[in-house]
Amino acid sequence: MSAYSLPDLPYGYGALEPHIDARTTELHHSQHHRSYVDRLNATLEANEELRAAGEQPIEDLLWNLPKIPEESRTAVRNFGGGHANHSLFWTILSGNGGGEPAGSIATAIDQDFGSFATFRARFAGIAVNHIGSGWAWLVRARNRLVAYALPNEDSPLTAEEIPVLGLDLWEHAYYLKYEAARRDYVEAFWDIVNWDEVDRRFEVAARL
C-alpha cells in the first residue's frame, strides 16, 4: 500500500508557458516529483515502525521529523520534503497569476518588509544568490513573514515554520529553458505566482 500519492497538477503541462516550458513542467511533475513520492513510500514501507507515520498528512510528517527513527530521518527529510515542497509549488503557480498580492498577505508583506517591491527584491536576491540546489521560501514564523533559502529539499515545516510561497531552485526546475540564467527564471516566476493561493495559505498559517 502506498501512503502518499502524486497529486495531479491543477492545470495542464503547458499552462505555465512561456514562463516555464511545458516539457520542464512535465518532467518536473511526472519524473522528479513522482520519484520523491515513490522513494518516500519505499522508505516508510521498509521500516515497520514507520508504516503508521505515513498515515499523517505530509506536512505533519515533516513537522514531526525529529520523531522519525534516526536511520530513516535523512530519507524522510529529503523525499518527504520533496513531496511537500512540490505539492505546494504546483498550487502557488498559475498561468493566470502574476501581478501584486491582495488581501491579508499583501498587508503582512507591507508590514514585515516595508513594501511589495522591497519584498520582491529581497526574495529574488535570495533565490539568485543561493548556491546549489534548494528553495527560496516565504514563511510565517513567530507571527511574522520571513524570507530565506534552504538547501536541497529541506522544508520550513521541520523548523516549525509555515511556508506560504516557495521557488524551486534546482536546475531541473529551469535548465531546459533558462540554462545558466537562473536570474531570468526568478524574474519569470513573478508572472505566474498565484497570489490568491498564497493568501489562502497565509490565512491558514496565521490561524495556527
Q: Give the footprint of Mn ion on residues 86-145 (CB under 5 A).
A: none
> Could you tell me the smallest distance in angstroms from the CB atom of residue 168 to Mn ion?
4
Q: Which residues pair with 135 in a beta bridge?
A: 150, 168
For Mn ion, the closer CB: 63 or 90: 90
Q: Which phi and psi (to 5°) does residue 205 adopt?
A: -65, -35
> Could you tell me the smallest distance in angstroms from the CB atom of residue 71 to Mn ion?
26
For Mn ion, the closer CB: 29 or 53: 29
Closest CA to 173 of 136, 120, 125: 136
Q: Which residue's Cβ lies closest to Mn ion?
A: 168
CA distances from 29 to 23, 65, 113 (A): 10, 24, 32
Query: Per-residue contact track with Mn ion, 144 to 183, x per CB under 5 A?
Result: ------------------------x-x--x----------
For Mn ion, the closer CB: 59 or 110: 59
> Could you tell me the smallest distance in angstroms from the CB atom of residue 117 to Mn ion?
27
* One-letter identity of residue 197: E
Count of residues that interact with Mn ion, criterion CB under 5 A: 3
> Could you tell me the smallest distance in angstroms from the CB atom of residue 135 to Mn ion?
8
Closest CA to 80 of 158, 27, 142: 158
Q: Which residues pair with 93 in a beta bridge?
A: 193
Cα of first residue to Cα of last residue in the chain, in angstroms, is 32
Using CB under 5 A as the criterion, which residues of the chain lie in contact with Mn ion when the complex forms? 168, 170, 173
